[in-house]
Each structure stands twice: as structure tokens, then as C-alpha cells.
Amino acid sequence: MGRLFGTDGVRGVANADLTAELALGLSVAAAHVLAEAGTFEGHRPVAVVGRDPRASGEFLEAAVVAGLASAGVDVLRVGVLPTPAVAYLTGALGADLGVMLSASHNPMPDNGIKFFARGGHKLADELEDRIERTYRAHSSGEPWERPTGDGVGRVTVYDEGFDNYVAHLVGVLPNRLDGLTIVIDGAHGAAARVSPEAFARAGAEVVTIGTEPDGLNINDGCGSTHLDKLRAAVVEHGADLGVAHDGDADRCLAVDRDGNEVDGDQILAVLALGMREAGTLRKNTVVATVMSNLGFKLAMEREGIDFVQTAVGDRYVLEEMKAHGFALGGEQSGHVIVLDHATTGDGTLTGLMLAARVAATGRSLAELAGVMERLPQILINVPDVDKSRVATSPELTAAVAEAERELGATGRVLLRPSGTEPLVRVMVEAADIEQARTVAERLADAVKSALG
């Protein structure tokens, strides 16, 4: 049986992979493991539980709440809010545990469970493993110890979470957004109310799309994975910029006034320069992954900002930031972490800070994003190969070395085994897209030959 916890909690098709029984069992297991770890010592435990608007979130939330309360945990139900809002409220309210029900950018039939530790931080891998082991032991017959009487948890609807979170977002901005017109695509997801409200309170004139969730339309042709509607709306309304979130609003992509995409790398570059100017870019360093465009690296070198790379995944970015005290990091996909104000990627905060930079400088988003030139990037997935031998194949090593010689300093090659599928990802960047495509296709052939 495979591991339940992936890189971002437990995720799968709701009511098939992720059942009410699983949600309840994992919640009870989490309560017992955290109690054994001493998290609840000396006080009555409290958990914050939130969800995105997926229809399945309704029954899964009920299961999680029932599991926690049956294990003696008091529950604050905050309703439909972004993942970073649940993380923030877990910390702000002094809760012992946060639980978010969402499958982020995945299609509507999927859902997921993500746990946060005290302070709103991601649960340690070791605790996730213990929760999984405990769940499996009890699901195979070992009985739970259950409180009775006044020992059972109480469940409260906490409506103040929305205002608390929005006030936090607006309160940390360096300046207001008066004079800007901004289109927000909420992906019919968890930020459908939060993001427009935050931008409006910060002074922007707001136009909304993708902000009418019905439980079934989350991420459906909208949001950060489908930018066409946002591009069209920005141009139609003559807006200064547009921002798009994913289903749980932990990421943000943007478009400029002409409808051109501004990706996570460009957003990071803009924020890095602004934070350095404000004196908040600790150690003059920004953290990103190996998938960041080479143009980002070249721009940071040119601007004199240090650049640290991690493996792909916002969890690795966050680990590097926390380990070394860095303030800013993120991914090309739009997961941006501003550690002074959030414990995880926060799409609404990212969009607000990007807009604040536009307002403060009086420069267009296109001009600000022009600090880096995105080099053409070709990605080819090579399936049905032995991905375990990527690093040890002499034939591949020679092919990569030859490609790197051909591309020189303005190109880059990355061969990466997929973490979930039997395939190898071949990524090539070059100043010329045709050169990038030619080299990528040649390397893909070499992968098939060497590993097929």
C-alpha cells in the first residue's frame, strides 16, 4: 500500500480515494499523535478547520470535525477560506492544529486534507508518518481511547476568520493601491470573497471574474491554470493588471495591462527588488527552484541579489528559507512565500504586494517585470523509461555535456525524473527557441536510447 501523505498532504478523488472514513480516521490519528508528542499538554486542544468550495468539502469537513471532536479537540470552523488563511488563523488564534480541505489546482472531483502544526507551519514529515502509521493500526482493528462526558470536543463556527485574515493582509502592505484598476480571477475557489475584499480595502478599483463558486466549477477554465479569461478581462476593462489564483489561493500569477502573462519568476524578481529597496530582503537573497527560468538567475546576478536554488516543490523552498533566515522565495508556478507575513505560499498576499509595487513606483507591471527576460523554455516528457538511471547513464552524461557546450552561458539543460510517473522530464532553455527545441528533442531521443 502506497504512502497516504504526498508533498502537500493527502489528496485523491473525493469519495473514492479520499473517503469520509479516511478523513475521520486521519483526524482522530492526528489528534492522538499530537497529544502523544506533548502538543496539547496542560490545556484543552483547539483546531482550526477550513475548506475550499468543492461540493465534497462539505461532507469531508463534517468527517474531520467529527473525528477531532471525538478525540477531545475543540474545533473552530472557519468555513470557505484560502489555505494560507487557515495557516494564518492557526497561528493568530493560538490553535494547536489547522486542517485545510482542498485539492488546490486539481479538478473539482479531487479533494485533499492538509494539516498545519501550531503556529500555522507545515506538519513535520516525521509527524505525518506517525499519523499515517497510527491511522493504519487503528483501521485494522486496534480500538481508540475515547473521551466521554465533558472530555469530548466542542464545535464552534468562527465567522471572524474572514475579517481577521483580510485585515492582516491589508495591514502588512507597504502602501495603498489607490488609483489602480485590478481584475481578480478567483478560480471559483477559496479566494472568491477574500481576494476582492482585500484589494478593495487596500484602495484598488476591483473587477472580478471566477468569483461565483457553486461547489462544482472550481478551476473550471479559470484561475491560474487558465489565464485566457483574465487576459481578455484586463484588456476589456483597461485595467492596470490582473491577478489569478488557484483553487485554494496559495499561488498567484498575473497579467500586465496588455494581457501578457507575468509568471512566478517575474513576480519574485519584482518583489525581490522592492524588498531590497525597503531593507526587508534578508541576507540579500531570494530562494527558487531548479525549474526557475535562467532569465531569473541572470537578472538576479545582474542586480547583485544572491540566488539559492532548491529541488522542485514549495516545501523545499520553505525549508531552505527557514533554515537560513531568508525572507523571500517561490516557484515559477506562482507559489510565492513572504516569510515575514505568511508561513506558506499566499496568492492574495503575493498579488497585493505586486500591485503595491506598481502603485509605489508609478511604473507599469510590464516595465517592472522587464527586469528579467524569460528565455525560451522547452519541456519534453519522455515516458516508459527507467528513470532511476538518469544520474548514472554514461550515454546521458555525455549527451548533456555536449548540449551544455552548445548552449554556453545563455542556455541550460535539466533532466529530472518525475516524482510520481515512470517518465523523465527534459527541460532546455536557450536564447533562441528553435535552438532550445532542437537540443531538447535530441536529448529526449538520448533518454529513450539510454533508458528505454
What nine digits make up the cell of 146? 475515547
* 224 flagged as catalytic: no
CA angle, residues 382, 385, 389, in degrees to nearest 5: 110
Residue 104 assigned ligand-binding role: yes
27, 56, 102, 104: the active-site residue: 104
Residue 246 assigned ligand-binding role: yes
Q: Tell me the C-alpha distance between 88 and 116, whole Å.
A: 10
The secondary structure element, H or E, covering residue 11 is strand 10-13
Q: Which of 261, 253, 195 lies closest to 231, judged by CA?
A: 261
Say whether 250 sits in a helix, a strand or coil.
coil
Q: Which of 388, 384, 392, 372 lies closest to 444, judged by CA?
A: 384
What nine digits make up the cell of 443? 536529448
Q: Which of 111, 134, 114, 102 lies closest to 6, judged by CA?
A: 114
The secondary structure element, H or E, covering residue 20 is helix 20-36
Give exposure, 365-393, as e/b (b: 16+ Cβ within 10 Å): beebbebbebbbbbebebeebebeebeeb
Residue 346 assigned ligand-binding role: no
Residue 178 assigned ligand-binding role: no
Give exposure, 240-259, as e/b (b: 16+ Cβ within 10 Å): bbbbbbbbbbbbbbbbbbeb
User: Do the beta carbons of residue 74 and residue 44 sit within 8 Å?
Assistant: yes
What DSSP assignment string belongs to 157-206?
E-TTHHHHHHHHHHHT-SS--TT-EEEEE-TTTTTTTHHHHHHHHTT-EE
* Neighbour-count burial of 445, counting CB atoms closer than 10 A to its CB (0-12 exposed, 13-18 middle, 19+ buried): middle
Q: Which of 118, 7, 52, 58 lies closest to 347, judged by CA?
A: 52
CA angle, residues 73, 76, 81, in degrees to nearest 5: 135
Which residues belong to the annotated binding site for Mg(2+)?
104, 246, 248, 250
Which residues belong to the annotated binding site?
104, 246, 248, 250
Residues involved in catalysis: 104
